[in-house]
Amino acid sequence: MKVLILTSSHRKNGNSNILAQEVNKGASEKGHSTTTIDLARLTINGCRDCGCCEAPKYNGCIIKDDMVSIYPQLIAADTIILASPIYWCNINGQLKQCIDRWKGIAPDREHNPFQGKNIGAIFSYGDTDVLTSGCVNAIKSLQDLCEYAQAKWLGAVYGTAFKAGDVLENKELLQQAKQFGNDL
């Protein structure tokens, strides 16, 4: 199975990136082929809603930035893992920008390569729990996305970690992330 992991933290040693690495380890252990793309180091512009990707043209996305190389990997993946820090009670801007641009290859529900794919997520947040941190909103957003795109929602691994690297002290959460990768 092809597993594509998209990370989005701008921090070196970001907690969500560390958890994503554990998922990667777990998936690799089980023999899956994994690729990680660090969205935070790429240039991904916002969707312009220009309609070029829509009927009757279906010309794909006209914005020629780093999404050009991500699109084929999204199409090829069986499983997509989205990793993000929680910013203002939801996913961060870098990941949102990328997801908005998925429209370039999924202009409507019928023309949508995400149908039947598995989608899961990794989140880290500074607050004490999934509700007060706003992580619950990120989970709901991605669940709704899966519902619309007819993809399978695999669930999420999430937990508290404030400063970069703090998550390394939470062995249980690291293990949970690795197990998530094992179970893909």
- Residues of this chain that interact with ligand FMN (CB under 6 A) are 9, 11, 14-17, 85-89, 124-127, 133-134, 161-162, 164
Q: Which is nearer to ligand FMN, 92 or 112 (CB)?
A: 92
Q: Which is nearer to ligand FMN, 89 or 145 (CB)?
A: 89
Q: Which is nearer to ligand FMN, 39 or 63 (CB)?
A: 39
- Taking CB atoms, the residue at the shortest distance from ligand FMN is 85
Q: Which is nearer to ligand FMN, 2 or 141 (CB)?
A: 141
DSSP 61-112: ----STHHHHHHHHHH-SEEEEEEE-BTTB--HHHHHHHHHGGGT-SSSSS-
The CB-of-134 to ligand FMN minimum distance in angstroms stands at: 4
Distance of alpha carbon 46 from alpha carbon 34, whole angstroms:
26
The CB-of-38 to ligand FMN minimum distance in angstroms stands at: 11
The neighbouring-strand residues paired with 144 are none
Closest CA to 114 of 156, 167, 71: 71
The CB-of-84 to ligand FMN minimum distance in angstroms stands at: 7
The CB-of-127 to ligand FMN minimum distance in angstroms stands at: 3
> What residue ranges in the chain does DSSP mark as E strands?
2-7, 33-38, 79-85, 118-125, 152-160
